[in-house]
């Protein structure tokens, strides 16, 4: 038992008081965990674009004051009643979408959309009692997607915590708590490009480049895709340049990166992107540009922008007969997807995914092991690091499209 178990903890948190206003470092009170909840000490967190959308609240429902943050790594401080599979000292990654292990989704091999703990961006309180565990002088501060990692301590439902190898460096594997696992899963579990496939990626931030990185490794492989044992070897990391070279020799793998920010293109080459399209450079819709480049369309496309126009283009740019498009970006509240039904009749498939279809508790510990076995490279995605007191800089980097992930160090 830690000495703080059962007590209110006072600690620093970066509070968003209002939409789009810089976060303010405050002393908050963090209540002890209730039934099926866990209180953890966050060591490292990073910024994902989903935090930024809800903080800007331009196309999303505003809920303030709120503590954002959902990509992080931490250590269990204390556990509430009924928590049996975690104990103080365990290393965990919090995940914005949970796994109760009991519902029909958790029991299905095909779904990670847990009935109880699936992502809910409108809820700012804990499920147990409908209240927040954070307060400042008695005023409740809302949670965000059940994680709120921009705080030295936070309270999370046990179903939203993946217990990981304590030897894994949290300053690196924290990026597996959202963006990079999402890109990995969107590629391997959902888009499933086959050897020789062409892939279009819309949005070359961390999520899109994770898709590129894992696509090229998969495409370059000599293993048959259907073989499950071989599948594990597919992501065995050689090096991206070796993988790209392998793909070139195999005569495969066109990876077309689409972004409105041309500054992304240089960096994207290091992640296997072979061709670039900036929609601003063309008068016609980007789906037509891609169809011309690829003799009718790409085999797979993955959208990682959050822009409704990019989502529609990503669907319409896949080849008829077999093309599959996967939506990953988080849309605005009032967006609607408009396309001609003939696209479906022409046998194009549209899919979407949260967290790359991974179940956080069951699947993420082994994704972390892939990093430990040098089958995944995470360092390439980490371009900045700031102390917690300078968390607003991480927002500036993302808003200016500079770099990929910025790690926020809670201590020192």
Ligand X SMILES: NC(=O)c1ccc[n+]([C@@H]2O[C@H](COP(=O)([O-])OP(=O)(O)OC[C@H]3O[C@@H](n4cnc5c(N)ncnc54)[C@H](O)[C@@H]3O)[C@@H](O)[C@H]2O)c1
Binding site for ligand X (CB under 6 A): 48-50, 53, 178-179, 182, 202-208, 258-261, 264, 279, 304-307, 309-310, 328-330, 353-355, 398, 401
Q: Which is nearer to ligand X, 9 or 289 (CB)?
A: 289
Nearer to ligand X, 24 or 282 (CB): 282
Catalytic site includes residue 50: yes
69 binds, among ligand X, Zn ion, none (CB under 5 to 8 A by kind): none
Q: Which of 70, 105, 218, 254 is catalytic?
A: 70
Select which of 39, 66, 91, 118 is catalytic: 118
Cα 203 → chain centroid: 13
Q: Candidates 29-37, 53-61, 109-117, 242-250 — which segment interacts with Zn ion by CB under 5 A?
A: 109-117
Q: How far is CA 369 from the centre of its chain?
A: 18
Count CB-CB contacts under 10 A for residue 192: 16
118 is catalytic: yes
Which residue in the list 99, 106, 174, 254 is annotated as catalytic?
106
Q: Decide if residue 50 touches Zn ion (CB under 5 A).
A: yes
At its nearest, how many Å lie between ligand X and the CB of residue 131? 27
158 interacts with Zn ion by CB under 5 A = no
Stretch that binds Zn ion, among 114-122, 281-289, 355-363, 394-402 (CB under 5 A): 114-122
Q: Given candidates 9, 14, 48, 317, which one binds Zn ion under the rule CB under 5 A?
A: 48
Q: Is 174 a catalytic residue?
A: no
Residues of the shown chain interacting with Zn ion in the complex, contacts defined by CB under 5 A: 48, 50, 100, 103, 106, 114, 178
Q: Catalytic positions, please? A: 48-50, 70-71, 100, 103, 106, 114, 118, 178, 405
């Amino acid at each position: 038992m830690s000495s703080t178990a059962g007590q209110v903890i006072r600690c620093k948190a970066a509070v968003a008081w209002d939409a789009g206003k810089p976060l303010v470092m405050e002393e908050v009170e963090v209540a002890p965990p209730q039934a099926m909840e866990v209180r953890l000490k966050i060591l490292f967190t990073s910024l994902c674009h989903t935090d930024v959308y809800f903080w800007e609240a331009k196309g999303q429902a505003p809920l303030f004051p709120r503590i954002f943050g959902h990509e992080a790594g931490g250590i269990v401080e204390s556990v509430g009643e009924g928590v049996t599979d975690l104990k103080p000292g365990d290393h965990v990654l919090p995940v914005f979408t949970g796994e109760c292990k009991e519902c029909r989704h958790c029991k299905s091999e095909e779904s990670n959309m847990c009935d109880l703990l699936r992502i809910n961006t409108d809820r700012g309180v804990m499920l147990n009692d409908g209240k927040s565990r954070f307060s400042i002088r008695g005023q409740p501060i809302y949670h965000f997607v059940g994680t709120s990692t921009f705080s030295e301590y936070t309270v999370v439902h046990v179903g939203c915590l993946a217990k990981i190898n304590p030897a894994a460096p949290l300053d690196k594997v924290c990026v597996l708590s959202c963006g990079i696992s999402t890109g990995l899963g969107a590629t391997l579990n959902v888009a499933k490009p086959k050897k020789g496939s062409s892939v279009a990626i819309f949005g070359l931030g961390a999520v899109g480049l994770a898709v590129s990185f894992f696509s090229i490794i998969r495409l370059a492989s000599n293993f048959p895709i259907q073989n499950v044992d071989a599948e594990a070897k597919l992501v065995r990391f050689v090096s991206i340049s070796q993988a790209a070279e392998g793909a070139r020799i195999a005569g495969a793998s066109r990876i077309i990166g689409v972004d409105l920010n041309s500054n992304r293109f240089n960096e994207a080459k290091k992640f296997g992107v072979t061709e670039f399209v900036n929609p601003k450079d063309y008068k016609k819709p980007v789906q037509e540009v891609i169809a011309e480049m690829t003799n009718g369309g790409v085999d797979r496309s993955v959208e990682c922008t959050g822009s409704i126009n990019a989502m529609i283009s990503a669907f319409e740019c896949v080849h008829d007969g077999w093309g599959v498009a996967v939506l990953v970006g988080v849309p605005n509240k009032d967006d609607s997807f408009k396309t001609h039904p003939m696209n479906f009749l022409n046998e194009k498939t549209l899919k979407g995914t949260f967290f790359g279809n991974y179940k956080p508790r069951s699947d993420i510990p082994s994704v972390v092991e892939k990093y430990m076995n040098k089958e995944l490279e995470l360092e390439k995605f980490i371009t900045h690091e700031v102390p917690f007191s300078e968390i607003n800089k991480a927002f500036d980097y993302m808003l200016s499209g500079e770099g990929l992930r910025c790690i926020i160090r809670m201590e020192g």
